[in-house]
């Protein structure tokens, strides 16, 4: 009890710990920059053209994310416009910047529920299925790049890297697990049934999955270009193939993010892959941070504008299309 006689609120460590981690990670990065300032000045080769190129790639990433959203949500029965798809992608990125990895996902699910009546479980299950497919596709890209190095270029590659991308490629086998046959209480069976409805809608629509995979490959390539520019800005002579590996591994940060916009996690994943390929870990972390810094103004500005636009749209509810599942 406090002095006013009111019960004291228990400390919510779930909200405190991520904030402390964010501060710690930022402190470590700033400490590295301070201690290596002279070396980084020698490496840095930043120009107006470089900033403009990074800005254009960041804008292209937002647009293609929007196109991917538009295609997915239309496939789920939401009659949204392409502008709404781009808006949701931008607001999703902004929410992840300001909160945590699930912030953007929750924002999208609430919008689809209010405007189109699509249930949370239906959307989240489809989003989960899409993520698993994307992880598998990125793993295949990584295995292909490493395989080309081994067979054609006769380059020795770290075994752990090959095993990691092979594990990502095989993640699609999760769809083969007989989860529906597991004995569970009735309430849990109902939730599992709703979960599988969204997964089946996505996985059984092969044309839709094909389009989404094409967009995923384009997004990987675009982020590879962004990383290529950022690494070369710091005089790290990475190849395009290596940047594809960095970009393909980056998708894992969506599943293991404990900080806003996966701060520290993305740097650790990409920096770890770069280290295995012989590059300096610290410089790799700064390169990832550079691409993040250039993207942030675009995301925050566009997200703020679209947040207002979509909030007005959300109050005007539309029914799902006739070819969607009426039971969700």
pLDDT (tens digit per residue) in 101-150? 566 778 888 888 888 888 887 888 888 888 888 899 999 999 999 999 99
Residue 12 DSSP symbol: -
Nearest to 139 by CA among 249, 244, 241: 249
Give the count of alpha carbons within 13 A of 250, CB side only: 26
Q: Are 258 and 267 in contact (CB under 8 A)?
A: no
Q: CA angle 242-246-248, nearest 5°?
A: 110
Q: Are 219 and 65 in contact (CB under 8 A)?
A: yes
* Residues counted in the chain: 328
Confidence at residue 5, expressed as pLDDT on a 0 to 100 scale? 55
Q: Map 283-315 to HEC letters.
A: HHHHHHHHHHHHHHHHHHHHHHHHHHHHHHHHC
* pLDDT tens, N- to C-terminus, the chain (328 residues): 545 555 555 555 555 655 666 677 678 777 777 777 776 676 677 788 888 898 899 899 989 999 998 998 888 888 888 999 999 888 888 887 766 556 677 888 888 888 888 888 788 888 888 888 889 999 999 999 999 999 988 888 999 999 999 999 998 887 776 655 655 555 555 656 666 666 777 777 888 888 989 999 999 999 999 999 999 998 888 999 999 999 999 998 887 767 777 778 888 999 999 999 999 898 898 999 888 888 888 888 888 888 888 887 776 666 555 444 434 4
Euclidean distance between CA atoms 212 and 210, whole angstroms: 5
Q: Are 206 and 134 in contact (CB under 8 A)?
A: no
Residue 153 DSSP symbol: S
Give the burial string for 58-73 (b: 16+ CB within 10 Å, else e). bebbbbbbbbbbbbbb
Confidence at residue 220, expressed as pLDDT on a 0 to 100 scale? 93
Residue 235 DSSP symbol: T
- pLDDT tens-digit series, residues 7-48: 555 555 555 655 666 677 678 777 777 777 776 676 677 788
Euclidean distance between CA atoms 59 and 295, whole angstroms: 8
Long-range contacts of 46-52 (CB under 8 A, 24+ apart): 46/233, 50/229, 50/233, 51/294
């Amino acid at each position: 009890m406090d002095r006013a006689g009111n019960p004291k609120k228990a400390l919510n460590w779930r909200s405190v710990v991520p904030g402390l981690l964010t501060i710690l990670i930022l402190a470590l990065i700033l400490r590295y920059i301070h201690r290596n300032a002279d070396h980084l000045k020698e490496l840095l080769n930043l120009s107006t053209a470089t900033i403009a190129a990074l800005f254009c790639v960041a804008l292209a990433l937002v647009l293609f994310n929007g196109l991917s959203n538009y295609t997915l949500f239309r496939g789920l029965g939401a009659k949204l416009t392409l502008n709404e798809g781009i808006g949701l992608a931008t607001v999703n990125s902004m929410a992840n910047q300001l909160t945590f990895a699930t912030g953007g996902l929750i924002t999208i699910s609430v919008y689809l529920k209010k405007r189109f009546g699509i249930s949370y479980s239906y959307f989240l299950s489809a989003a989960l299925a899409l993520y698993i497919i994307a992880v598998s596709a990125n793993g295949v890209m990584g295995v292909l790049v490493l395989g080309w190095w081994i067979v054609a270029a006769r380059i020795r590659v770290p075994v752990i890297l090959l095993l990691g991308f092979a594990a990502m490629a095989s993640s699609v086998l999760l769809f083969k697990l007989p989860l529906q046959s597991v004995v569970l209480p009735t309430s849990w069976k109902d939730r599992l049934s709703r979960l599988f409805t969204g997964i089946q809608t996505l996985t059984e629509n092969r044309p839709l999955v094909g389009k989404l995979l094409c967009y995923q490959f384009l997004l990987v390539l675009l982020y590879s270009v962004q990383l290529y520019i950022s690494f070369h800005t710091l005089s790290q002579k990475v190849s395009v193939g290596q940047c594809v590996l960095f970009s393909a591994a980056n998708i894992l940060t969506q599943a293991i993010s404990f900080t806003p916009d996966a701060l520290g996690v993305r740097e650790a994943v990409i920096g770890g892959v770069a280290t295995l390929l012989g590059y300096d870990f610290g410089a790799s972390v700064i390169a990832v941070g550079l691409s993040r810094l250039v993207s942030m103004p675009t995301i925050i500005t566009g997200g703020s504008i679209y947040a207002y636009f979509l909030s007005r749209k959300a109050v005007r509810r539309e029914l799902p299309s006739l070819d969607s599942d009426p039971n969700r």
